[in-house]
A and B are shown apart, each in its own frame.
Chain A
Amino acid sequence: MSMLHLVRTSAFQTDDFQQCLNVLQPTDCIVLLDDGCYNLNHDLWQEALNKVALPALYIIEAHAQARAVTLDKEKINTLSLDALMTLICETEKSVTWQ
């Protein structure tokens, strides 16, 4: 059942992340990549933290650093693209919000 959500857009610009949260289930994982990294500082991030456990929330480290998004271990875990591929293989399905 568990689903991997690949979030590639900023919630400051589009409704994609809100829609993602609307279908998010407690066993799902979220990965922020590309402009999705900006969601870490959006009010909606708290909703993500409320819905799934911190170990299931990830951000692509290089994508965050490229955007000068400050990382906070209390809010998210970092991931390399190799680790993302492993995560994709481990989860049953994925949906891309872009």
Chain B
Amino acid sequence: MKNIAFVITTPPNSNLTATAINIVTAALTMNISVVGVFFYQDGVLNGSQHLALPNDEYQAHQQWQLLHLKYNLPLHLCATAAEKRGLSDDINDNQAKNVHEAFTLSGLGELVELNVKADRLIQL
């Protein structure tokens, strides 16, 4: 069985992200081991706690959160990309903290680690 890691660069309001979520979900339901998802560039916006999409639109961020809950899927936000986009996980400052708890801020080194752990790194 292969280990797969994903790099996601598209924001939650892009339909490309819905595709990515469907592909990751397909892998998980097929019992393919997903060692982690690394969010880079605008992809980090998927980890924002304060996204308010209209109820009748696809809730990409909630889908990631569900995958994390159901499959214990590691969700890493690139820390530098997150900071550039106003995202913070500072637990000492409740006012500033706006990253959802399902996501972890990680250095770019995490991407290297995922690439080493995985047989295949898929960019979406």
A residues with CB within 8 A of B:
6, 8, 33-34, 63, 81-82, 84-86, 88-89, 93-96, 98
Complex CA gap A1/B110 in Å reads 27
User: Could you give 24 example pairs across A and B, Cβ below 8 Å?
Assistant: A6-B122, A8-B19, A33-B19, A34-B15, A34-B19, A81-B23, A82-B26, A85-B26, A85-B27, A85-B30, A85-B32, A88-B120, A88-B122, A89-B2, A89-B4, A89-B32, A89-B120, A94-B120, A94-B122, A95-B123, A96-B122, A98-B10, A98-B123, A98-B124
Q: B26–A81 contact, CB under 8 A?
A: yes
A48 CB, min distance to chain B CBs, angstroms: 21
Q: B4–A88 contact, CB under 8 A?
A: yes
Complex CA gap A63/B16 in Å reads 11
CB-based nearest B residue for A81: B26
B interface secondary structure, majority? mixed
- Chain B residues whose CB sits within 8 angstroms of the CB of A96 once the complex forms: 122-124
Complex CA gap A96/B26 in Å reads 18
B residues with CB within 8 A of A:
2, 4, 9-10, 15-16, 19, 22-23, 26-27, 29-30, 32, 120, 122-124
Complex CA gap A94/B122 in Å reads 7
- Known pairs A81-B22, A85-B26, A89-B2 / 6 extra A-B pairs, C-beta < 8 Å: A82-B30, A84-B26, A85-B23, A88-B4, A88-B120, A98-B124
B73 CB, min distance to chain A CBs, angstroms: 15
- Chain A residues whose CB sits within 8 angstroms of the CB of B9 once the complex forms: 98
- Chain B residues whose CB sits within 8 angstroms of the CB of A6 once the complex forms: 122, 124
